[in-house]
A and B are shown apart, each in its own frame.
Chain A
Amino acid sequence: MSKTHVTTSINASLHEFLCEPGDTLLDVLRNELQLTGTKEGCGTGDCGACSVTLNGRLVCACLVLAVEVEGMEVGTIEGIGQSDSLDVIQEKFLEHAALQCGICTPGLIVSTKALLDENPDPTEAEARYYLAGNLCRCTGYDKIIRAVMDAAATLGGAKEGV
């Protein structure tokens, strides 16, 4: 089977790759581009471990064909936070002990960023529903929600200061 050439922007830098038409974006991110921060928990869109953004919209990378992202903008966990400083969301996850094993953490952080980009001041219920597609089996979500709400408050505070 001949491979398809795809050009796309990943975390704001230009990438080119070859893929088979049946390969998912998740396959390509993990196996071709070695961007293994995006995790696979189910392969069927039920767990959110592979959450990425596509043109700014939150999606499961396991349910996107790699060929579809031609000319689009992909955002992954590797694009969140600078090399010398973490994003506020990442800091809050650490401060609140909002991760135990850590496998769901990249997906949750990508989703939280999408949430706060769309809705900078969510209620607890809004945060819980927005993140319902990100399964965590370790924490019972309590500390995750606290981290999300604290990140929102911190970012909101920063905005008011501008």
Chain B
Amino acid sequence: MSEAREFKHIGQRTIRPDGYDKVTGRANFGADLSLPGMIWGKIHRSPHAHAKILSIDTSKAEAHPDVLAVVTASDFPAIQSETIAVGEGSEDLFDLTRNLLAADKVLYHGHAVAALAARSERAAAEALSLIEVQYEVLPPVLDLRAAMADDAPVLHQDMFTEGYDKKPEKPSNVATRLEAKIGDIEAGFAAADVIVEREFYTPTAHQGYIEPHACTVRYDENGQSMIWCSTQGHFDVRARTAKILDMDQTSLKVIASEIGGGFGGKTTVYLEPVALLLSKKSGCPVKMVMQRTEVFIATGPTSAAKLWVKVGAKKDGKITAMQGRLAYEAGAFKGSPMMPGVMTMFAPYDVANVCVEGFDVVVNKPKVAAYRAPGAPQAEFAAEMLVSELADQLAMDPLELRLKNAAREGTQTLYGPKLKSVGLVACLEAVKNSPHYQAPLGTPQSGKVRGRALASGFWFNMGGQSSVVINMNPDGTGTIVEGSPDIGGSRASMQMMAAEAMELPISRLKPIIADTDNVPFSATTGGSRTTYATGMAVVEAAQKVVQQLKERAAALWNLTPEQVEYADGVVHAKQGDDQLSVREICQAAEKTGGQISGQANINARGAGPGFAVHVCDLEVDTDTGKVDVIRYTASQDAGKAIHPGYVEGQLQGGAVQGIGWALNEEYIFDDQGVMENSGFLDYRIPLASDLPMIDTLVVEVPNTFHPYGVRGVGETSIIPPLAAVGYAVSKAIGAPITTLPCSPPRVLKLIQDKA
């Protein structure tokens, strides 16, 4: 892969194959399917953050003339604790059922307690208030400090901290403690000339996808049940729902609708098993669509985190030791992304002595779910803030300091392997040479101050199982059947990779996302894996089609496949003038053995790690504390950008989500654990008018495992903005930012305290 390759399709800015449907409103998303006889499901949610359920009386709701079914946790078959993979992490099946419908206790405000289905959405909403629940209210545990206190109320009496040599004697809200290290951390600090140390805090933040969770389901006692839903992984929806409801996977078909954003938040289930139970009880198809408030209070945000970090370096900038201690809120059930936080925290650095300790802590908030590079933005925020501070202490350019210590081929990672060829140095160089970094910061108007900072980011990227079937049609077109929901334009890259491998125009190849009955297993769209892993399967399937095309043409000519060659959609006999187009071969397929089809079921390894470097210029109003980002550049190693437009889009979108997290986004709870800003009015995600253009520098250091060099690009881009923005604010106001978001009251207070 070292030599530059000439591509015909890859690297072009094609029109995405699903584009027409999406700009005309024809594309069908989670809430867009209605079925004859369909009724509407709604969920009754807990008004308390922490309480024992004493009784649930559903009789009045059942008596409502329009209500056709009511379910509670007691309607689930008994289920054992079992760890299952979910997106980039894992979850416990028992906890999952308790999250779907609370059984003995409610563990957060908004926790589902019961569900009902009625003839209309209006009747369902009205009948919810007829469900009567008696609670014994318990004191809520609302943050890490409270949860980890010795006398903290314990959420789960059967939870004993794992990760110590001896099982603790008392149950605890700390689910897991983890330590990872390389080298000798004490010796590393002893060798340092300069040591910096600080504690940081990041808030609970939500993925903020615009489409609320939604599904339409039909239970069929003869084994033909169906779920239509918005999900990043319909095979995972099938596996979970079948397990929870004790069904065979063959009796449940899951169809992935178009998905209106997920960012990790649609890798588990909230509605689907409940909706299927309601359908089973009522005998009717059931549709459930969350309200926006429900999305905020009852689906997974990402962890609030407390992050202590310490870094030591020589006078010349060589870092000798990096240490971290991280606590992540998991929400109501164990399973925060603490571990990837630990493993990614210092990954952009080639340092001999590293030690990170992490804690996974339950609190009375919604159970967290994956969010774009889960766990990494928090940990790397703390690390990058401190590395920038170190640069200032050493009076070094922050970019030069990072270059000097950059992870590169051969660097020992904390998570195990030594790095192969990676693009961090290339990203740093790209930023260093960029017009943005070369330009002066400029002088603001009076009453404003400016700051610039940069930050790196690292994410592992994932491979995993993907399956693709390419069926050649009699007219010489091909249908690419894949099982990876297309969350951001991946159909376009599948089409382009197939066209490249098959040497056909893209217009002859149509990618479709098949349901669970119509394509072999494919893992969830997550972990930045789809263009990498599903792309590899596409290429392998395409190569098999090409081989068959050669075999079939050879058979028609009574030659062996070795006696023919394939180029640009035509098979030629090496000797003589015989040639057949793909269309002709496909037309004749019946005579040469039937359907021409290539299939690849793979478990992809070797996803190349993704590195990014972002630089941010911003301006702070010193009278109000308001921060405006005025210039922003995102550099990232894509390995090979299949569709540059959608790669740039991933960089820009991740950057802006990170900017939002850094500036304004946070869950605000009252002292009883009720979320006060559960809508887009006060959970403030960035608007078009908040931002400048986001410049991109796409670096291509090919990943040798992928036939075209692809690395995942979806996640890394959300990591650098937190510190790029955070440290730029620190620089602008001349006071250290330790807590996100940099909301105006917080920034103004720092300015006033300094003066």
Contact = CB atoms under 8 A, between A and B. Distances in A.
Direct contact, A vs B (beta carbon within 8 Å) = yes
Contacts of B681: 44, 46
A101 B259 contact: yes
Contact of A109 (B23, B26, B656, B686): B23
A25 B259 CA distance: 24
Contact of B260 (A30, A102, A125, A132): A102
A16 interface: no
A74 interface: no
A93 B649 CA distance: 13
Given A41-B292, A137-B210, A143 B645 contact: yes
B25 interface: yes
Given A100-B646, A128-B688, A134-B688, A140 B260 contact: no
Contact of A137 (B28, B261, B489, B650): B261
A67 interface: no
A144 B258 CA distance: 20
SS of B interface (majority): loop
Interface in A66-84: 76-78, 80-81
A127 B686 CA distance: 15
B399 to A, nearest CB: 23
B395 interface: no
Contact of A100 (B28, B487, B679): B487
Max chain A C-beta neighbours (<10 A), residue from B19, B289, B657: B19
Interface residues of A, number: 60
B212 interface: yes
Interface string A1-40: 0000000000000000000101000010011001111111
B265 to A, nearest CB: 10
Given A41-B211, A47-B210, A138-B261, A97 B648 contact: yes
B685 to A, nearest CB: 6
Given A46-B679, A141-B691, A94 B16 contact: yes
Contact of A42 (B15, B20, B258, B679): B679
B609 to A, nearest CB: 23
B457 interface: no
Interface string B207-220: 11111100000000
B530 to A, nearest CB: 13
Interface string B258-274: 11111100000000000
A103 B29 contact: yes
A22 B258 CA distance: 29
Contacts of A146: 693
Contacts of B28: 36
A53 interface: no
Contacts of A44: 292, 679-681
B292 A42 contact: yes
Contact of B652 (A34, A41, A132, A143): A143
Contacts of A39: 29, 31, 210-211, 260
A120 interface: no
A14 B585 CA distance: 51
Contacts of B289: 40
Given A97-B643, A142-B652, A43 B25 contact: no
A83 to B, nearest CB: 9
A94 B19 CA distance: 6
Interface in B590-648: 643, 645-646, 648
B32 interface: yes
Contacts of B646: 97, 100
A81 B24 contact: yes
A41 B210 contact: yes
Contacts of B29: 36, 39, 103
B744 interface: no
A26 to B, nearest CB: 11
Contact of B210 (A38, A78, A136): A136
Contacts of A38: 25
A139 interface: yes
A3 to B, nearest CB: 12
A44 to B, nearest CB: 6
Which 5 residue pairs across A and B have the least CB separation, nearest first? A37-B25, A103-B260, A97-B645, A140-B656, A102-B22
10 contacts: A39-B260, A46-B681, A47-B680, A101-B488, A104-B210, A128-B689, A129-B689, A137-B207, A137-B657, A142-B694
Interface of B: 13, 15-16, 18-20, 22-29, 31-32, 34, 121-122, 207-212, 258-263, 289, 291-292, 487-489, 643, 645-646, 648-650, 652-657, 679-681, 685-689, 691, 693-694
Given A46-B292, A100-B488, A103-B29, 7 more contacts: A37-B26, A47-B292, A94-B23, A100-B653, A103-B211, A106-B23, A140-B652
